[in-house]
Amino acid sequence: MEGNFIEAKRTANDVLQTDGNNVLAYVVRASGNVYEYKLTAAQADIEKAAKLQPESGVVQGFLSNIHSNLGNEALSKKAAEKALTLLGSPNTAIEYYARGYANFAVLRDDQAIEDFTKSFQLNPRYLRALAFRASLYKAKNQTDLAFNDYTRCIQTNPGYAIPYVHRGKIYMNRGNNELAIADFMKAVQVDPLNDDAWINTNYAFCSMRQYDKALECLNKAEAINPNNAWLNYQRGNIYFDLGKLDDALSYYNQYQNKAPKSALSYIQKAKIYKAQGKLEEALGELTLAFKLDSKNADTWLERGNLFFEAQMWDDAVLDYQEAAKLNPNLASAQLNIGCVKYQLEFFNEALTYFNRAIELNPNYALAYINRADTYDALGKTKEANADKKKYVELGGQLAPAGAKTIKDIYPSTNFDANLTRAALQRGSSVIKGRACTKADGLKFDASGITVVLYPATPYLEEWYELREKKEGKKTRVYMSKEAVKFCVTAQCDRDGRFAFEGLKPGRYFIQIMHNFNQQKTGTRYVGSSGRTDYYSEYNYTIARSARLEKFVEIKEDGDTKRITLSNSLIKSCSGIL
């Protein structure tokens, strides 16, 4: 009950030598065998107890636990349901514990927490109940409550290894890898056969990018449990992170041979093929993964990554959403949806998803750096710099770069393609105009230059206001790539005249970038004779550029609007439009 499984197992053995029909001794020894990964022996013990007392709710509760450890979820649920029937009115700590596990097995976590709480209240040294309650708190993201329960277990019985491991995991999730490793090593000190502590120490070293130490930890775990296929899977992950893809592939294949029904190796092999640019092979591996386990969120996530690579944005989002549905705590699914929104230049939506990723995992370095890029795109430099700082604190590395002297920013409003498309539907109105630029008292017609017309949607209006407010030598204000596509163009004739036909009533924004060369004449000194200086004339060219633009409103269908685009206050570029 206090978590001393090995000692409890020895005591149970002693009891069974004198009393071969002691049901509680079989239950205790079965629990010890589970702790030592001797699941076949555990099953034999608990089934013996069930034969001796088939109507014992405690036995059925523990039987449910062992079936679950063996992967027999249907049998686990059946035993749990029987335990709940038999334990309608528990009286003792062990009865509440057994009913708590039964409630957990049928997905009634809140009732399970109540039962484990009552078990611990009846016997404050029943630390297994407290530890199980902590695991349920952790599953509900109530990590402070879980942390407190694990700490209380350790304070009550410093020789109970499991709470050290789980508290270490909480430290690791909080980014406190050194404290996590200290807890994992304490677990090993208390229980040298605790391979889970070595595996989690490996994860902590991976987070710190100390891969040699991580591999050493896996070797320690393998010495304790040579049949743990997961160790090869994790070795594959380490070599994948190191960019040693052939080694990673080899370990994934070894894992696959030991765990042929697991979809994980196929998912990881798909990542390797994607990294090698072999998208068809990657998709083939994911197809096999789907056949094995269509409910694995990582499979959907990785296929979404393939769609992302192919710029199939809608398909990518659908797969990421399915991954998030299957695993609501999967921060990477939220991150990746945010990355799609960023690529589509829906920056506010991108922020929403990056925020969700950080809420799920406050130490998710990639979420911070992607959110920083989004803040930069919105001109929020202070917020961007704060996120970059957090990214570095979490172990991220920012590549050295020259100072960015020009900042590119975008509107925060999402571009609405349907609204813009509707604004460009056919009408019977016309806009005619002439464009010219005035320089040095001379007029230069926009001969042969392209004129662009955009509907004045809320997105464009925000872009224009943002440009008027923010544009300068160090800041450029852009529309999204998609927004730029929704326009109508016309070509100026030699006199700078242009026309847009077939417009419907509405407000429009017309713009021309007038780039031209101005021929000028200058004089230069060529020499002198006596008191006379001599000069000669020469011709040179000055490159000119002017942005000419105007908002125009058509009120009635069939109207014709006449406008002038110029950089000065002149009413026309001369001549009749």
Q: Closest Cα partner for 174 from 363, 424, 5, 328? A: 363
Query: Does some domain include residue 267?
Result: no
Statement: residue 3 has pLDDT above 60: no
The three-point CA angle 260-264-270 to 5° equals 110
The domain that holds 482 is classified in CATH as 2.60.40.10
Convert the pLDDT of each residue in 328-370 to its tens digit. Answer: 999 999 999 999 999 999 999 999 999 999 999 998 999 999 9
- Residue 577 confidence class, pLDDT cut points 50, 70, 90: very low
Statement: residue 292 has pLDDT above 80: yes
Q: How far is CA 190 from CA 134, 246, 295, in A?
A: 20, 38, 38
Convert the pLDDT of each residue in 371-393 to its tens digit. Answer: 999 999 998 989 999 999 999 98
Q: Residue 18: its pLDDT value, please?
A: 84
Query: Does some domain include residue 437?
Result: yes
Q: Is the CB of residue 351 less than 8 Å from the CB of residue 384?
A: no
Q: Closest Cα partner for 101 from 72, 122, 77, 71? A: 77
Enclosing domain of residue 478 = 417-566
Statement: residue 575 has pLDDT above 70: no
CA pair distance 104, 64, nearest whole angstrom: 10
Q: Is the CB of residue 369 less than 8 Å from the CB of residue 385?
A: no
Query: Does some domain include residue 438?
Result: yes
| Residue 438, token pair as written in the block | 């005035």
Query: Does some domain include residue 144?
Result: no
The total of structural domains in the chain comes to 1
Query: Does some domain include residue 474?
Result: yes
CA pair distance 156, 143, nearest whole angstrom: 20
Q: How far is CA 58 from CA 63, 95, 134, in A?
A: 9, 6, 21
Residues in the chain: 577
CA pair distance 415, 455, nearest whole angstrom: 12
Query: Does some domain include residue 488?
Result: yes
Statement: residue 523 has pLDDT above 90: no
Convert the pLDDT of each residue in 396-427 to its tens digit. Answer: 888 766 556 678 889 988 899 999 999 999 99
Convert the pLDDT of each residue in 212-225 to its tens digit. Answer: 999 999 999 999 99
Query: Does some domain include residue 313?
Result: no
**Which distant-in-sequence residues (6+ apart) come within 8 Å of 20 by Cβ?**
none
Phi, psi of 313 (to 5 degrees): -60, -45
Phi, psi of 524 (to 5 degrees): -140, 150
Convert the pLDDT of each residue in 456-512 to its tens digit. Answer: 999 999 999 999 998 888 889 999 989 999 999 999 999 999 999 999 999 999 999
**Which distant-in-sequence residues (6+ apart) come within 8 Å of 434 by Cβ?**
445, 495, 496, 497, 498, 564, 565, 572, 573, 575, 577
Query: Does some domain include residue 23?
Result: no
Q: Residue 313: its pLDDT value, please?
A: 94
Q: Measured between alpha carbons, how far apart are the two ends of the chain, in Å?
A: 95
pTM of the predicted model as reported, rounded to 2 decimal places = 0.63
